[in-house]
């Protein structure tokens, strides 16, 4: 089973707890800060990823770190379960999966917008409006710049790409001319 | 060609002016792993099973496995160019190949691209590689023969248009030779032949092409080649591509329009040489895709793989133009083991089988068809009347001969009838022998079998039969050409024709015996 699928299972469980106790946002913040901590500390990351350290030891060390960091009871228990199941190496996938689930729960759609030039505020608002109307969800855009596009935009929502860039149009024109 | 540069730029200008780009919406995925000719991609949530996918470097892929969080893709083309992280695009199309009359006489790969260096081929249409077989109402029972030109087959195991007849045997028993003779014999029958070479050596395919060219058979033949050096997906797709090729002819008249009541469809003969290699290729792909292995490590749907392919062979009803697609799948057995998985599967799917045996081959009975266990379940209905008439006693004589042949090896004292039966059987077996690349017209088959089964060869030495056969045909061609023509045209052998045949045969026999005694006397 792929690691993303496993992470999905744990994330779903954590989300359900959050729903029950109505603390989804605090859980999300806590989880992300833990992940950032692991990312910033090479030693800690090695501990998480190392396959030769016994899961129970990992759990003990991790719990102690979380306790000193002042993490909530739920997060501490969650990581103990994860560590004892020898899944601590999936911590990054866990965070991705959990953030995705929270977005889904709150009706937020994440999209990646690549443009040739930086988008102005009104342009961005228009884009948000049009997409919110189309999908019926709140939009969150991750902005990127790529001069290779020459002009226009390329928007990726999930596995669908809306290509309105000059580069894409030129490619289409070339295909049309070659097939004519 | 006379086009001015001005003209060209005008065309391009109008193309550009009329170009109105819409926002291009496409669905993509990301390659997460690649190797062994397959790839896995994340994303592509709405991909369909069997959908054609577009990868970088103009490599195409086929969605083969749809799993919970990834899509298994088989790569067609230069798989080594694909890297982790590449994007895969959906096309929304099912895989199809170009087909049409322009493919006749060409050698192509399973994607419809030419391999013979004779330039591009213009397609009349695109046919999906996987197509549902004709429905029950679109069909009709088999009623026209496919003459293979081999006496042993046309007389005892007749094949009808739209039938599926398996050719099975060990390696080096002449399976391909039987198939090639059948192709060569279609020179004037109007049947378009498609020879699908799966997993064979390139040199073998080249020999096949040359043999067909030398015998003037490439003018009605298409060769679909997926050689051993190609990746497993090509081998897996090759028979389906061949079937799609044949279906085009079945569903279209000679004028290129869809066939119907007033526009008769054409006839095609598809030879899959051989399906055991295709099954092995399919097993390879399936195992790489981690589908669970079953018996002999073949995946569970290997039966469906062959049944859906062979089900596409059909004889269409008159409302549909009456076209047909005949399938001759070939299976190679290991040491005569026909109870292995793939042979039993294909035997149960087809409408009969031709068993070729190494023992017969080595004792110089060629084609090495074991007529005892070979059957044709539907071909009898399509057999010519004249042939049916003469082959009835042939079957009986051969059966009796087989029974006695084993028994007679022990005893020396045999009664007269037994001796006569043995004698007759030996001559029958001899008559059914035939050299390669020399298919025989049906009227000649009828006459020689008639002669043998009426006992006119009983007093000719077995060793002289080959010469007798050659000379009697030369004699008939000169002295009674209308007799042969009548059999060919009417397909019947009435009483008076039989009488005429008898006088001619007896007349020739006198000559022949005289020449024999001369030779021995000298």
Nearest residue of A to residue B14 by CA position?
A: A177
CA distances in angstroms from B124 to A167, B34, B249, B256, B307, listed in the order given: 34, 35, 11, 8, 28
Q: Is the pLDDT of residue A1 over 70?
A: no
Dump pLDDT digits (tens) for A16-39: 999 999 999 999 999 999 999 999
Rounded Cα gap, residues B62 and B67, in angstroms: 14
Nearest to A160 among B11, B16, B25 (CB): B25
Is the sign of the CA dihedral B440, B441, B444, B446 positive or negative?
positive
Taking the alpha carbons at both ends of chain A, their separation in whole angstroms is 47
B499 token code pair: 């009488």
Substitution target from B21, B28, B92 for chain A, most A beta carbons within 10 A: B21
B319 token code pair: 């409302």
Nearest residue of B to residue A162 by CA position?
A: B25
Q: Which residues of A touch B (CB under 8 A)?
A: 2, 4-5, 156, 158-164, 168-169, 172-173, 176-177, 180
Q: Beta strands of B232-274 (E only): which ranges?
A: 267-273
Dump pLDDT digits (tens) for B42-88: 989 899 998 999 999 989 999 999 988 889 999 998 889 999 999 99
Rounded Cα gap, residues B88 and B27, in angstroms: 8
The ipTM assigned to this model is: 0.73
The residues facing B355 across adjacent strands are: B168
Report pLDDT for A180.
60
The answer to whether B330 and B175 are in contact (CB under 8 A) is yes
* Nearest CA distance, A130 vs chain B (angstrom): 14
The answer to whether B329 and B274 are in contact (CB under 8 A) is yes
Please tell me the pTM assigned to this model.
Answer: 0.88
The answer to whether B33 and B55 are in contact (CB under 8 A) is no
From chain B, pick out residues whose CB is under 8 angstroms from the CB of A173.
16, 19, 21
> Rounded mean pLDDT of B351-355?
95
Cβ contact (<8 Å) for B24 and A172? yes
B70 touches chain A (CB under 8 A): yes
Q: pLDDT-based confidence at B522, cuts 50/70/90? A: low
B11 touches chain A (CB under 8 A): yes
Q: Which residue has the higher pLDDT, B12 or B421?
A: B421
Rounded Cα gap, residues B353 and B336, in angstroms: 14
Dump pLDDT digits (tens) for A102-123: 998 988 888 889 998 888 889 8
Q: Beta strands of B129-264 (E only): which ranges?
A: 145-146, 159-160, 166-169, 191-198, 221-226
Report pLDDT for A175.
81
| Catalytic residue IDs of B | 377
**Percentage with pLDDT > 70 across chain B:** 98
> Rounded mean pLDDT of B170-175?
94
Q: Which residue has the higher pLDDT, B260 or B11?
A: B260
The closest alpha carbon to B425, from B381, B496, B365, belongs to B365
Q: Is the pLDDT of residue B395 over 90?
A: no
CA distances in angstroms from B429 to B56, B154, B370, listed in the order given: 60, 15, 11
Rounded Cα gap, residues B119 and B136, in angstroms: 40
Dump pLDDT digits (tens) for B286-307: 999 999 999 999 999 999 999 9
Residue B188 DSSP code: T
Cβ contact (<8 Å) for B26 and A176? no
User: How many Cβ atoms are within 10 Å of B432's Cβ, its own excluded?
Assistant: 24
Cβ contact (<8 Å) for A158 and B43? yes
Collapsing DSSP to helix, strand or coil, B98 comes out as: strand
Nearest residue of A to residue B28 by CA position?
A: A159
From chain B, pick out residues whose CB is under 8 angstroms from the CB of A172.
19, 21, 24
DSSP string, A47-70: HHH-TTS-HHHHHHHHHHHHHHHT
Substitution target from B23, B33, B51, B87 for chain A, most A beta carbons within 10 A: B23
Helix (H) or strand (E) holding A113: strand A108-115
Report pLDDT for B460.
92
> Rounded mean pLDDT of B196-207?
96
From chain B, pick out residues whose CB is under 8 angstroms from the CB of A164.
23-24
* Nearest CA distance, B26 vs chain A (angstrom): 5
Cβ contact (<8 Å) for A177 and B15? yes
From chain A, pick out residues whose CB is under 8 angstroms from the CB of B43.
158-159
Cβ contact (<8 Å) for B69 and A5? yes
The answer to whether B349 and B310 are in contact (CB under 8 A) is yes
Residue with tokens 């045969």: B505
Q: Is the pLDDT of residue B520 over 90?
A: no
Residue with tokens 């290779």: A148
From chain A, pick out residues whose CB is under 8 angstroms from the CB of B72.
none
Report pLDDT for A131.
87
Q: Is the pLDDT of residue B21 over 70?
A: no
């Amino acid at each position: 089973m792929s690691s993303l699928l496993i992470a999905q299972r744990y994330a779903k469980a954590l989300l359900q707890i959050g729903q029950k106790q109505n603390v989804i946002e605090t859980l999300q913040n806590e989880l992300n800060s833990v992940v950032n901590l692991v990312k910033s500390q090479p030693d800690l990351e090695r501990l998480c990823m190392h396959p030769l350290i016994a899961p129970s030891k990992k759990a003990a060390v991790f719990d102690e770190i979380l306790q000193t960091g002042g993490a909530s009871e739920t997060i501490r228990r969650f990581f103990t379960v994860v560590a004892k199941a020898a899944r601590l190496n999936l911590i990054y996938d866990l965070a991705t999966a959990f953030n995705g689930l929270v977005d889904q729960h709150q009706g937020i759609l994440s999209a990646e917008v690549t443009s040739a030039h930086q988008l102005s505020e009104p342009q961005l608002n228009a884009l948000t409006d049009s997409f919110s109307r189309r999908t019926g969800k709140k939009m969150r855009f991750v902005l990127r710049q790529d001069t290779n596009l020459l002009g226009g935009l390329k928007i990726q929502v999930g596995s669908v790409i809306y290509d309105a860039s000059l580069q894409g149009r030129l490619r289409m024109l070339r295909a049309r001319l070659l097939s004519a | 060609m006379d086009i001015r540069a001005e003209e060209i730029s005008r065309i391009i200008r109008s193309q550009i002016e009329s170009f109105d780009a819409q926002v291009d919406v496409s669905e993509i995925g990301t390659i997460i792993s690649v190797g062994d000719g397959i790839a896995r991609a994340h994303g592509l949530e709405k991909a369909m099973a069997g959908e054609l996918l577009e990868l970088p470097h103009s490599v195409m892929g086929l969605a083969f496995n749809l799993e919970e969080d990834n899509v298994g893709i088989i790569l067609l083309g230069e798989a080594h160019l694909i890297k982790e992280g590449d994007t895969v695009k959906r096309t929304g199309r099912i895989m199809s190949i170009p087909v049409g009359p322009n493919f006749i006489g060409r050698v192509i790969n399973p994607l419809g691209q030419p391999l013979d260096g004779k330039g591009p081929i213009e397609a009349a249409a695109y046919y999906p590689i996987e197509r549902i077989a004709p429905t029950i109402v679109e069909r009709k029972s088999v009623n026209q023969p496919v003459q293979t030109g081999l006496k042993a087959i046309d007389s005892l195991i007749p094949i009808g248009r739209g039938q599926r007849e398996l050719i099975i045997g060990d390696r080096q028993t002449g399976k391909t030779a039987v198939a090639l003779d059948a192709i060569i014999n279609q020179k004037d029958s109007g049947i378009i032949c498609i020879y699908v070479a799966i997993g064979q050596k390139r040199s073998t395919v080249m020999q096949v092409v040359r043999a067909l060219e030398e015998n003037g058979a490439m003018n009605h033949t298409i060769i679909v080649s997926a050689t051993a050096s190609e990746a497993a997906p090509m081998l897996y797709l090759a028979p389906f591509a061949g079937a799609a090729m044949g279906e085009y002819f079945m569903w279209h008249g000679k004028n290129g329009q869809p066939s119907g009541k007033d526009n008769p469809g054409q006839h095609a003969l598809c030879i899959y040489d051989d399906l055991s290699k295709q099954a092995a290729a399919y097993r390879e792909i399936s195992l790489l895709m981690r589908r669970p292995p079953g018996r002999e490590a073949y995946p569970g749907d290997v039966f469906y793989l062959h049944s859906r392919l062979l089900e596409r062979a059909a004889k269409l009803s008159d409302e549909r133009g009456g076209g047909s697609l005949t399938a001759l799948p070939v299976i190679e057995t290991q040491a005569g083991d026909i109870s292995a998985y793939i042979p039993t599967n294909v035997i149960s799917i087809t409408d009969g089988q031709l068993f070729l045996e190494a023992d017969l081959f080595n004792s110089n009975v060629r084609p090495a068809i074991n007529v005892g266990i070979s059957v044709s379940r539907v071909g009898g209905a399509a057999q010519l009347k004249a042939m049916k008439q003469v082959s009835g006693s042939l079957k009986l004589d051969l059966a009796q001969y087989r029974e006695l042949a084993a028994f007679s090896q022990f005893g020396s004292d045999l009664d007269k009838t037994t001796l006569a039966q043995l004698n007759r059987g030996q001559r029958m077996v001899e008559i059914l022998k035939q050299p390669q690349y020399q298919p025989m017209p049906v009227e000649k088959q009828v006459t020689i079998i008639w002669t043998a089964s009426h006992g006119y060869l009983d007093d000719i030495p077995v060793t002289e039969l080959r010469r007798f056969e050659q000379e009697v045909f030369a004699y008939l061609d000169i002295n009674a050409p209308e007799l042969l023509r009548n059999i060919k045209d009417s397909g019947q052998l009435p009483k008076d024709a039989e009488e005429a045949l008898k006088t001619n045969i007896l007349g020739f026999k006198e000559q022949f015996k005289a020449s024999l005694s001369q030779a021995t006397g000298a």
